[in-house]
């Protein structure tokens, strides 16, 4: 759509998640990549909003970036304002990167209902009826009003939209804007988004040092890991394995296997520490 | 019976040798690996061996087959003990019979070397001071944590 650019906000501190939310993977793909891909399916120019210290982070470095002004406002409004400064004529469709249930239907209905004569077009929250600022189209004319708002020491984008001439829409999918802030919310949502056949039921047997570190000689598990290499990384993180994968061999169904071999449901996997027979 | 085996009991070299007897053979060579009382400056009190037996049996059988083909020997056998071993126990036994002694020696050497490198068997040493460690594993893991380790030979030989 002409005149509308896409912006995915990824500058959050992820304090409750305790790890960078942009990089969290759903069904094997980072949240940031998923959000960018979704917007790119509808809008030609899509950017990722980052803080100045995030530009080199590998997941963000793959995308076109808009960098927050150093010494500017804090929070999501900083990203919105920086995007507007980079192209003051554009309307910006802004989405947070931590909306894993956001779908094309929601984006389409926002674009279709857009009123360029308002300050913004946004959805009404399905929880409290207030505007959702982080899946909204911010029009060029919001810039002066935003600066005036910031000058009063406030930086809450929702408060800004409540007090502005905002077109509010009903959400076509009431869950699309649920955000995910904690590890348990992430696990529940990831399970929901991962197709059943992508999660494999596997058996893993442990020997020697790995058996002692895992505190069991075998376990059955459900995993998204596509290969033995991915599986070792997942299990090493869970059990605190000290052996690096380069020191190990791997066997699948009692035969040596390549680390990149795709795993199938029902496989039995054994990681083989350096051997010491004789 | 397969030419590569695991045993939880003491290795009986005499009966293994008898399986190799063949009137076509003019030579027989065997090797025993024993549990010794020291390694790398540590006094060792006992050992534990653990194996991933289903794969170990396959890989061991492949090694024997390679040795027979490569050196043209008549028969070859290898038995590896698993479980708790005391000082002086036989940990591994290799025997080869052949028409002539040269092939028998070479095949015997080939088998023990390949078994040590390829068969999924692990050895835990228990030391006088109460410590214990998985040979070839713990030091590699520690190295990997402290710095990028090189792949220097971490082999700890209990004999040779």
Residue B57: pLDDT over 90: yes
Along chain A (278 residues), what's the average pLDDT of each consecutive run of 10 residues? 85 80 82 94 95 91 92 89 95 95 94 95 92 96 94 93 95 90 82 71 96 96 92 95 95 95 92 96
- In 3D, which of B97, B92, B64, B75 has the Cα closest to residue B160? B92
Chain B residues touching A205 at Cβ < 8 A: 52
Listing DSSP states for B33-100 in one string gives EE--SEETTEEEEEEEEEE-HHHHHHHHHHHHHHHHHHH--SEEEEEEE-EEEETT-EEEEEEEEESS
d(CA A157, CA A162): 9
- Measured in angstroms, the CA of B74 and the nearest CA of chain A are apart by 23
d(CA A114, CA A81): 20
- Measured in angstroms, the CA of A274 and the nearest CA of chain B are apart by 6
d(CA B14, CA A130): 87
d(CA A192, CA A118): 36
d(CA A203, CA A191): 19
Percentage of residues in chain B having pLDDT higher than 90: 79
B4 compared with B2, residue with greater pLDDT: B4
Average pLDDT over residues B61-78: 98
Chain A residues touching B141 at Cβ < 8 A: 209, 242-244, 247
Q: Are strands A120-124 and A166-169 parallel, antiparallel or unpaired?
A: parallel
What is the model's pLDDT at position B1?
A: 74
Global pTM value? 0.56
d(CA A244, CA B109): 31
Task: Read off the tokens for B115.
Answer: 């078994």
pLDDT band per the 50, 70, 90 thresholds, residue B159: very low
Find the farthest-apart pair of alpha carbons in chain A and give their distance in angstroms, rounded. Answer: 81
Among the residue ranges A63-72, A100-109, B55-64, B139-148, the one predicted with the least confidence is: B139-148
Asked if the Cβ–Cβ distance from B121 to A272 is below 8 Å, we say no
d(CA A114, CA A136): 9
d(CA B85, CA B54): 21
Sign, CA dihedral B125-A219-B61-A272, equals negative
What is the model's pLDDT at position A27?
A: 75
| pLDDT digits 0-9 by tens, A94-118 | 999 999 999 999 999 999 999 999 9
What is the model's pLDDT at position A207?
A: 97
Residue B152: pLDDT over 80: no
What is the model's pLDDT at position B142?
A: 65
d(CA A82, CA A60): 16
Cross-strand bridge partners of residue B27: B98
d(CA A236, CA A241): 5
Which residues on chain B place their C-beta less than 8 Å from a C-beta of chain A?
33, 49-52, 54-55, 58-59, 80, 91-92, 112, 115-124, 134-138, 140-142, 144-145, 154, 156-159
CB atoms within 10 A of CB B129: 9
Give whole-number Cα distances, A225 to A29, A235, A244, A245, B125, in Å: 12, 10, 17, 15, 34
Sign, CA dihedral A226-A242-B140-B158, equals negative
DSSP A49: E
| pLDDT digits 0-9 by tens, A189-210 | 877 776 665 678 999 999 999 9
| Interface pTM, i.e. ipTM | 0.87
DSSP A174: T
């Amino acid at each position: 759509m002409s005149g509308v650019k896409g912006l995915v906000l990824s500058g959050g501190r992820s304090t409750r998640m305790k790890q960078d939310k942009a990089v969290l993977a759903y069904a094997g793909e980072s949240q940031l990549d998923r959000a960018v891909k979704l917007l790119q399916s509808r809008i030609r120019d899509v950017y990722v909003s980052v803080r100045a210290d995030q530009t080199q982070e590998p997941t963000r470095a793959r995308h076109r970036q808009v960098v927050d002004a150093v010494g500017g406002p804090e929070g999501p409004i900083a990203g919105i304002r920086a995007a507007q400064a980079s192209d003051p004529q554009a309307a910006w469709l802004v989405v947070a990167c931590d909306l894993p249930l956001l779908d094309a239907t929601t984006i389409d209905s926002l674009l279709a209902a857009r009123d360029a004569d308002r300050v913004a077009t946004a959805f009404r929250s399905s929880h409290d009826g207030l505007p959702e600022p982080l899946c909204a189209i911010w029009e060029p004319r919001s810039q002066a009003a935003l600066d005036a708002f910031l000058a009063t020491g406030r930086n809450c984008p929702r408060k800004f939209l409540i007090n502005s001439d905002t077109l509010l829409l009903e959400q076509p999918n009431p869950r699309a804007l649920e955000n995910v802030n904690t590890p348990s919310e992430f696990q529940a949502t990831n399970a929901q988004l991962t197709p059943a056949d992508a999660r494999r039921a596997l058996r893993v047997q442990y020997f020697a040092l790995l058996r002692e570190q895992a505190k069991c000689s075998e376990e059955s598990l459900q995993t998204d890991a596509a290969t033995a290499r991915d599986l070792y990384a997942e299990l090493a993180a869970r059990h605190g394995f000290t052996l690096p994968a380069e020191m190990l061999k791997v066997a699948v169904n009692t035969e040596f296997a390549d680390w990149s071999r795709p795993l199938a449901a029902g496989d039995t996997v054994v990681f083989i520490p350096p051997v010491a027979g004789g | 019976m397969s030419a590569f085996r695991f045993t939880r009991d003491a290795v009986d070299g005499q009966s293994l040798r008898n399986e190799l007897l063949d009137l076509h053979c003019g030579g027989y060579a065997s090797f025993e690996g024993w549990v010794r009382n020291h390694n790398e400056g540590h006094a060792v009190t006992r050992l534990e061996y653990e194996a991933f037996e289903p794969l170990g049996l396959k890989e061991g059988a492949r090694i024997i087959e390679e040795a027979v083909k490569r050196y043209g020997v008549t028969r070859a056998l290898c038995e590896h003990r698993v479980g708790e071993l005391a000082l002086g126990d036989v940990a591994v036994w290799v025997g080869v019979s052949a028409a002539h002694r040269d092939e028998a020696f070479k095949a015997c050497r080939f088998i023990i070397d390949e078994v040590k490198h390829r068969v999924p068997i692990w050895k835990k040493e228990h030391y006088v001071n109460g410590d214990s460690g998985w040979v070839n594993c713990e030091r590699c893991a520690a190295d990997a944590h402290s710095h990028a380790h090189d792949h220097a030979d971490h082999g700890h030989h209990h004999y040779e």
